[in-house]
Amino acid sequence: MKEADGQWLESSGFFNVDGVQLEYQWFTPLQGIDLTLVFLHEGLGCVAMWKDFPRRVARLTGCRVLIYSRAGYGGSDPCPLPRPLSFMQDEGLRVLPKILNAAGIRNAVLVGHSDGASIALINVGGIADARIQGLILMAPHVFVEELTLRSIRAAKTAFETTDLRERLSRYHGDNVDCAFLGWSQAWLDQDFLGWNLDTYLPNIKVPVLLLQGEQDNYGTLRQLDRITELLPNAAETLLLSGCGHSPFRDRLDDTLQGVADFLKIHFDGMP
C-alpha cells in the first residue's frame, strides 16, 4: 500500500527475513534528507503501538522513518516459545542488519524504546556497521533491576486476571500470547538475572541521546548511569518529569523536540 499527500509518501508491507514475514511501515518526506530513523519497539510493542509518533518525527525532521514489528508481534509471523534468553542479542546482531539490507538503508539512526533501545545498543556495540550513525534511546535496559521484574510480575498478573490480554490483542491479534509470554517469561527466567550489556557499551562511538521518565516503573536512572559510565564518549541525556516508561506517549512534545534538537546538532541538512 502506498499513499501520498503531496508532502510525503507512506507505504507498508512485509520484509522476508530468513523465511519470517515481518511487517513494516515507511514514512518518507518528499523533500527530506538522506537519513533514515529506524524505530525499534518495546517488549510489548509493534508497528501500531507507536501511534502517530513516527509520522510526527518524519514531519518535524525531514528524515525517512522505518518502523517494523519483530517476529511474534503485531502483524508479523509468530515465533516459537519460549523465546531464547538471547532474544535481544539475536535481534540486534542477526535480524536488524538484514532489515537494513532489505530496506536499502545507507545512513541511519536507531530509535529504540525499552527492549528496542537495548537491541539498538547491542547492534552498534556488537557490529562495526558504518550505516548506523547515531542512537536515540528511550528507557533503555542494560542490566536487570528488581524494579523491572516487579513491574513485569504485576503485568503478568494483570494479563491473567484483567482485560489486559484483550487490550493488547487489538494490536497483536493472534500474536498476543506470543508477544506477552515471550517477553515476560524471558525477563522473569532465573537464568536471565545476570543479563547485561557491559561488553557492548565500550564499543559505541556514535552520538547517543538518552531519554528517561523520572517516574519510569520499569527502570531507574541507574540504567543511564551505567551507560554513561561505560560509553567512551559523553551521551546527551534528557530526563522528563511527570513521565513514566514511554516518553513518546507521556511527554510527546518534549520528546519530539529532544529528538529534533539532537539530530540538528549532529547531522547536516536538518531543518
Contact predicate 66/35, CB 8 Å? no
Residues 186 and 247: their CA atoms lie apart, in Å, by 24
Average pLDDT, the chain: 95
pLDDT in tens, 125-147: 999 899 999 999 999 999 999 99
Q: What are phi and psi of 270, to 5 degrees?
A: -75, 145
Q: Is the pLDDT assigned to residue 42 strictly greater than 80?
A: yes
Residues 136 and 177: their CA atoms lie apart, in Å, by 29
At 154, the pLDDT band (50, 70, 90 cuts) reads very high
0.75 cut: is pTM over it? yes
Choose the weakest-confidence range: 27-41, 54-68, 82-96, 103-117. Answer: 27-41
Domains of the chain: 2-266 (3.40.50.1820)
| 102-138 exposure pattern, b = at least 16 Cβ within 10 A, e = fewer | ebebebbbbbbbbbbbbbbbbbbbbbeeeebbbbbbb
